[in-house]
Amino acid sequence: MAKIRVLVAGFKGRMGQTTCHMILEHSAEFELVGGFDPYSDPNQNLSQQLNLTDGSEIPAFSKIEATLQAKPDVWVDFTTPASVQSNTQFCLEHQISPVIGTTGLTASEIDALTATAAQQKLGGLVVPNFALSAVLMMKFAQEAVKYFPDVEIIELHHDNKKDAPSGTALRTAELMAAVRKPKQQGASDEQETLTGARGGNYEGMRIHSVRLPGLIAHQQVQFGGVGEGLTIRQDSYDRASFMTGVALAVRKVQGLTTLKVGLENVL
């Protein structure tokens, strides 16, 4: 069986680096054929820039059009919110199956990319969170909100994360909104004495974002009822926790026929 040819976009970032090492460790089924980063050193290959010691010479590309030379089957994207839409569009137009781990895509951008995927008859995955515990947390939250409609989300990430709230928090709120009927009321005369103290509002559900050094990725979905409460929490203490999901997405994405949101689509 032929190996899946994988290109990692954003290979210089921490998630990109971890993904490159995971692909290399799964050499029986995956082949790392290149990396893309517009700020990569044109005088060094991917192996040199990642300090690999196996003597391999994997190309690193700073121009997106040049990545076609590597002939990837799957493009894994851990770049930035500013570039992820154009990167995904490029993949779809060139029959490269995208696995998108970069958060920040808007609903309208996902709709446009879904339409492009349908036109190209190509599948892809947009994954807010690759941790299996996070997928379960979102599933459990969607079930719980049917019984506890009063809910808030607290998401906590490292201080270098560029978008807030996180894609996981937004996806959780979206899933809960699909089944949540009564709307959270709260005090009719509530006033913020400090702007933003109550967090962002997603269809009546508040989302609070914490950014601190030392954190990786964490989320707490807190439900309140009459005389009781329920808390569902997920923690990722190491980026290695995401790699089982990344590997699964790489294996499964070529079997999809349209663009899907969420790792649960290939579980």
Distance CA 68, CA 57 (A): 17
Q: Is 149 marked as a binding-site residue?
A: no
Q: Does 158 count as an annotated binding residue?
A: yes
What strands, in cross-sheet order, belong to the sheet with 60-61?
60-61, 30-36, 4-9, 74-77, 97-100, 124-126, 259-261
Does the annotation flag 114 for ligand binding?
no
Report how far apart, in Å, the C-alpha atoms of 117 and of each of 19, 91, 100, 215, 233 are. 24, 10, 14, 35, 34
**From 3, 146, 161, 252, the catalytic residue:** 161
The reported pTM is 0.84
Q: Which CATH architecture has domain 4-126+240-265?
A: 3-Layer(aba) Sandwich (3.40)
In angstroms, the CA 13 to CA 154 distance is: 25
21 catalytically annotated: no
Domain boundaries, the chain: 4-126+240-265, 132-236
What is the rounded average pLDDT of the residues 218-225? 97
The closest alpha carbon to 219, from 170, 177, 175, belongs to: 170
147-190 pLDDT, tens digit each: 999 999 999 999 999 889 998 999 999 999 999 987 766 777 78
**CATH code given to domain 132-236:** 3.30.360.10
pLDDT for position 103 = 86
> Is 71 known to be catalytic?
no
Q: Please indicate if the annotation marks 242 as binding a ligand.
A: no
11 is in an annotated binding site: yes
Among residues 157, 218, 252, 260, the one annotated as catalytic is 157
| Confidence check: pLDDT of 15 > 70 | yes
> Do residues 45 and 71 lie in contact, with contact meaning Cβ atoms separated by under 8 Å?
no
Residue 9 Cα to chain centre, angstroms: 13
Q: Which of 172, 206, 176 is nearest to 190 (CA)?
A: 206
